[in-house]
Structure 1
């Protein structure tokens, strides 16, 4: 059974554990990585059958791949500082989110 994604591309989120801010640029309805990546990086064993998100990390050059359960909406609506943001997202909306140009999948 597929679960509906809680967040959409352009939304600003915060990682619950690591507390970094970021903006979602794409959503996978289920985990799309390799078993090796999951074993190494997903140590809390988040569910693979729920949405996973590609997130540009604020004030970094990194993009992360994060399970939905580790994200929450970020009440801080300040802009995200990332070198790829203009390539992947459009104008900022009144609520602080970004208009997606396209999705990666």
Structure 2
């Protein structure tokens, strides 16, 4: 199971802090079937293996990046067909990093306040506020 990690610029976060349309439902339809995800946009999560704190900024009902080779995925397709999450985490220097993680790789975060990573707390709070009270563009 591989995690995809991308280095991102701080301007990337600003795009997520401004108003934009977000689907708040935790269910998606693929091929007429409804898929449920355990985590929602704006939720804080932890990487199960590495222990890093992150904020979910988008949810894909299934793996949607480039088609992986047979070496990249297990023989059964269950991991690829489960929900995948775009998660912003911080590296050791405090810079934001965009990751693409399978649902099996992340766990619920018990605490909502993290003094050592206030940027992620602010990002989660901003996204949650936009979901509760979206601003009109007109």
Band the TM-score falls in, shorter-chain normalisation: 0.5 to 0.7
* Counterpart in the other structure of 2:44: 12
SS at 1:27 equivalent: strand
Q: Distance in 2 between matches of 1:8 and 1:100?
A: 14
* Structure 1: gaps (5+ residues): 92-97
- 1:72 matched to 2:104? The reply is no
Q: Distance in 1 between matches of 2:103 and 2:39?
A: 8
SS at 1:3 equivalent: strand
Q: Distance in 2 between matches of 1:28 and 1:2?
A: 13
Once the 2 structures are TM-superposed, how far is the Cα of residue 101 of structure 1 from its aligned partner? Answer: 3.5
TM-score of the pair, normalised by structure 2: 0.52
- Larger relative helix fraction: 2
Q: Is the 8 A contact 1:25 1:100 kept in 2?
A: no
TM-score of the pair, normalised by structure 1: 0.67
Q: Distance in 2 between matches of 1:81 and 1:69?
A: 25
Q: Is the 8 A contact 2:73 2:80 kept in 1?
A: no
* Structure 2: gaps (5+ residues): 1-32, 132-138
* Counterpart in the other structure of 1:49: 81
**RMSD, aligned α-carbons:** 2.6
* Counterpart in the other structure of 1:94: none
Q: Distance in 2 between matches of 1:18 and 1:44?
A: 20
- The structure with the largest alpha-carbon Rg is 2
Q: Deviations over 1:41-73 (max 9, x none)?
A: x95747110100001104332110000001101
